[in-house]
Structure 1
């Protein structure tokens, strides 16, 4: 016997309201229908989901775990029934600006998928820094952008977060910090540090360093992620960078390890930006809808 959506709805209502009678009123069905559905679920799963008490229905530990899965299933069903389907026949030109990190480590796979989904849509891609992208969006040189959104403050732009990539400490294999139970900015400040500068990485890193009494002992500032990777792998320093740009091996074939940090280090946020209060073109709608559905995000605002 398989689990039905009806059983899940009845189970969730009972779990939330705590009484079969209240769940029955809420769903406008009989109490016996809910009782039967819950018993069927328990038989399928093989565990008790509720403790029956004089006060009502209390979730067991298994019931609490199953409720979490039930919420996930119903959320997916809701998303599937409210998809914003966009015709693959969309055509025209979409100008997309992106920053160095996004083009190098995030966007190519998605551009390839978009071109297969919308074969008549020409996506023109431009690499620019944040300031040039902001100016280009406001002057209509670009339709939309994909970039690191944390430094965008222009009130004339709308931004939406696509994902956050955690920042961790990069160290070479066999580094002594790998043996410690706890590593924070205090320990890192005692190590030679490689500072990445591209996409305002240095500015972002100094934000979280400035909230502490410590400072990195910078021995090199570079705009090249591969230079950071090589320097770290060869034991010349350490760095804090995001998982998005991490690769476990340098070009020389030497291993790079990562360490979770004790101090609160903000994730690197990748998102979309476009000019506020514009009427999005079908091409823009298709671009935004692709990311919303692919990454399971809420519907974007205009």
Structure 2
């Protein structure tokens, strides 16, 4: 058993699909499949049940997932002994948005806190307009935002992660077994429109791929509401892999299918005022993210 196998197993368990795990790790699907098979052989039991809609964990898989989180945490601590001893100090004012703080940032804040316990990172959740205004007014040192929504020429951005967008469907839906679904077909379904972080505006930009607009049944700022409504068969939606979970709060299954054509990704990254010289503390945070997302995946 090795770190690579554990890392690929966790990614598959969290995403529910080999293809999604491979995309998140920037590796081939065969590499993920091989790692899981090697783990199952070494442990001597199945970790997943393969279905038409993805990978469902067995009881053994769930037990290994809990242990894997502990293993990865310990590896992080071991790898970052030098960084913790560096003694970097300072306060960093960070701006972020709803989606980023809910589905991306907590894991990294925890890692940074363990690596650099003397840093004082203060996080402020705002909408994009307020984040941009705060950066330009020097109220924030840096922002972690959806860079795909940033177009202000006075701001510099560095994209870390590109999260593909796919069609979300309830299990058993007539389109669930399709490889790709055209927008003309999606327009025949009731559509659940997410509005938070400008999602509705983004949706309408790429909806021009279809010949007719979506039949919007409901608009909501709650991703969990969208998840539940889709899982319960009350409509469909197109959202990114970053906010996807295979189960609703009621325990109902959600599956995803590629759209035809493929819609633009939801990009997450860093933003700061162009020409601003970062403080040493901010540079530490910037370097952490660059290293975390530029390390070659093996």
The normalised TM-score by structure 2 is 0.69
Question: 1:280 maps to what in 2?
Answer: 278
Query: Contact 1:167–1:267 (CA<8 Å) still a contact in 2?
Result: yes
Question: 122, 143, 160: which one pairs with 2:158?
Answer: 160
Greater gyration radius? 1
Question: 1:135 maps to what in 2?
Answer: 133
Query: Contact 1:191–1:217 (CA<8 Å) still a contact in 2?
Result: yes
Query: Contact 2:91–2:281 (CA<8 Å) still a contact in 1?
Result: yes
Q: Which moved more, 1:153-162 or 1:226-235?
A: 153-162
Question: 1:199 maps to what in 2?
Answer: 197
Displaced runs of 4+ in structure 1, greater than 6 A?
none
Q: Secondary structure at the match of 1:134?
A: helix
The separation in 1 between residues aligned to 2:172 and 2:96, in whole angstroms, is 36
Distance 1:296 1:86, change over 3 A: farther
The separation in 2 between residues aligned to 1:290 and 1:218, in whole angstroms, is 41
Query: Contact 1:167–1:268 (CA<8 Å) still a contact in 2?
Result: yes
Q: Which moved more, 1:188-197 or 1:172-181?
A: 172-181
Q: Secondary structure at the match of 2:199?
A: helix
Structure 2 unmatched ranges of 5 or more? 1-82
Q: Secondary structure at the match of 2:181?
A: coil
Query: Contact 1:88–1:119 (CA<8 Å) still a contact in 2?
Result: no
Distance 1:169 1:143, change over 3 A: same
**Cα drift, residue 211 of structure 1:** 4.0
The normalised TM-score by structure 1 is 0.68
Q: Which moved more, 1:262-271 or 1:209-218?
A: 209-218
Query: Contact 1:88–1:117 (CA<8 Å) still a contact in 2?
Result: no
Matches within 5 A, 1:200-279: 200-279=198-277
Matches within 5 A, 1:13-52: none
Query: Contact 2:179–2:258 (CA<8 Å) still a contact in 1?
Result: no
Distance 1:87 1:204, change over 3 A: farther
**Cα drift, residue 87 of structure 1:** 7.2
| 1:48-87 deviation digits (Å, cap 9, x = unpaired) | xxxxxxxxxxxxxxxxxxxxxxxxxxxxxxxxxxxxx897
Question: 1:102 maps to what in 2?
Answer: 100
Q: How many matched pairs?
A: 214
Question: 2:115 maps to what in 1?
Answer: 117
Q: Which moved more, 1:85-94 or 1:115-124?
A: 85-94
RMSD of aligned alpha carbons = 1.6
